Amino acid sequence: MARRAVAVIETPRWPGRIAVALVLVVLFGPLVAVVWRAEGIAALSRADVSAIRFTVWQAFASALISIGFAIPVARALARRRFRGRQALITLLGVPFLLPVIVAILGLLAVFGRAGILNELLAAIGLPDVSIYGAHGVILAHVFFNLPLAVRLILQGWVAIPSERFHLAASLNAPIWQVLEKPMLRNVLPGAFVVIFLICLTSFAVALTLGGGPRATTIELAIYQAFRLSFDLAGAATLTLVQLAICAGVALLAFVITAPDAMGRGLDRVVARWDGSVWTDAAWIGAAALFLLVPLIMVVLRGLPGLLDLPPSVWGAAARSVMIAIVSAGLTLALALALALRGGGWMMIIGTLPMAFSGLVLGTGLFLIAFPLVNPTRLALPVTALVNSLMALPFVLRVLAPAVAQVETQFGPLAGALGLRWWARVRIVILPRLRRPLGFGGGIAAALSMGDLGVITLFSNGGASTLPHEMYRLMGAYQMEAAAGAALVLVTLSLGLFWLFDQGGRTDADA
């Protein structure tokens, strides 16, 4: 009787099991702690319902505007070739890695009360505008997520085989109808859901630009219930509501995929003849202006502020760098373990942190630590732990395809040579993952450097991070010093990303 074939396990499986257990414990343990310590949940107040409604509405509006703006920008970049194009695409991606609090300061320099826009309006006799409120929250979310939307949609455009364009031209068929619209129907739902989810769990944006009764998000309401009134039941209720919404959206993001309906071509670059060059240039210029001017203002206003930095900023900067390095290392270890284990369940586990918010995890960990130790002593380790989980979905998306590609290319040869377990990982896989490991580590370090979430719960000022210190300076109306701290923060964030990325490229296999 024939026996059923059994798959041979070629790489160690226990690191993947440990990673799964750690992710599940750190995600669901704090949630259980919040509900248990609250001794039940409370009824939603009118303010809570308003916060839930505003959170969903602003996330939908932010994602819709980001996608709507990104479509013509990505289309223009896809069909135009010009000097500096790749550098421009790289620069347009900087806001996604930029610390939130720094980007907000840059937006205030452009759209704030004393910003460039209001100065121009005053010069022509028009009333000024305010960035604070719902429109400011949406503006900031579009600033952060437009680069992500452009990259996601641009990948769809680049993936269309050049032979399809030649065929459409020979048949005199409309390219938009036969090629571009079908591609967008595949790509847009997934991109929209991912950006919607990011905006749904945003905290720092609502803390600095919202906060009023009509511009309070669930994250901000949880923070207020826990930090200001210590209403555990209210915080638990809002936590469960947010988790339900995020879990549903995260599941939708996992289910909605972009099938490859275009087939494969010969990887040739096609010279596009359709569309107006001036229209494409206008869209690219508008996106560059919107994204790069706030960054330039951060540099210009930050240089004079370097002279007014208090000593506490440098201590906070050192702590932030330490947290970022530890967080990046833990993220890489978890992502690599899950990627080596492989399979759909590993991707689901690695995507789970997108259904949680760092603030919710921090609240639960605070409640767990409170009876045992002074939570302020755990501010830095907890911040590093939560930051590592928040970056896990992004890093896993970088590593998992790279591991699968290495196994496809070199797995049969490694099996023929008898390379299994750690020898297979050490000799075959890791040397060919230097680039994605460096890039993923850079993403994790940059995201951790700019986090302003968990530290607001645990820190009492003695163990502050650089984003928290910058927020305190802004709250004390020391805007020049805050601008200097912002320049230090963005320099360290992008510097860490560059160091990790370059470290992955050094002597790496092509």
Q: Which are the contacts of 233, defined by CB distance < 8 A and separation ≥ 6?
A: 38, 39, 40, 41, 42
488-510 pLDDT tens trace: 888 898 888 888 877 655 444 43
- For the ranges 170-179, 214-223, 285-294, 330-339, the lowest mean pLDDT is seen at 170-179
Tell me the CA distances in angstroms from 59 to 140, 200, 217, 352, one per residue in order: 11, 5, 10, 19
| pLDDT tens digits for range 6-23 | 333 455 566 778 888 888
Three-state SS at 132: coil
pLDDT score for 220: 82
- The predicted model scores a pTM of 0.77
In a domain, 8, yes or no: no
> For residue 3, is it within any domain?
no
327 confidence band (pLDDT: 50, 70, 90): very high
Contact 357, 240 (CB under 8 A): no
Average pLDDT for the chain: 77
Residue 2: inside a domain? no
Share of the chain above pLDDT 90, in %: 5
- Indicate if the pLDDT at residue 484 is higher than 60: yes
Structural domain contains residue 6: no
Instruction: Using the structure block, give the residue that is written with the tokens 């070739």.
Output: 81
Give the tens place of pLDDT for each residue, 390-438. 888 888 877 887 777 766 666 555 555 555 555 666 656 667 777 888 8
Q: Is residue 181 part of a domain?
A: yes
Kindly report which listed range (64-78, 116-130, 260-274, 451-465) carries the lowest average pLDDT score: 260-274
The Cα-based distances of 106 to 36, 137, 150, 454 in angstroms read 41, 14, 21, 23
Tell me the mean pLDDT in the region 225-247: 77
Identify the domain containing residue 187 by its residue range: 14-35+44-260+268-505
Residue 228 resides in a domain: yes
Give the angle subtended at the CA of 99 by the CAs of 447 and 61, to the nearest 5°.
95
Residue 123 has pLDDT above 60, yes or no: yes
Closest CA to 452 of 326, 357, 328: 357
**Structure confidence at residue 208 as a pLDDT band (50, 70, 90):** confident
Q: Which two tokens stand for residue 328?
A: 């990046």
Q: Which residue has the higher pLDDT, 476 or 268?
A: 476
Distance of alpha carbon 89 from alpha carbon 80, whole angstroms: 12
Identify the band that residue 461 occupies on the pLDDT scale cut at 50, 70 and 90.
low
Instruction: Give how many domains the chain has, as a whole number.
Output: 1
Are the C-beta atoms of 145 and 198 separated by less than 8 Å?
yes
Question: Residue 142: which CATH number?
Answer: 1.10.3720.10
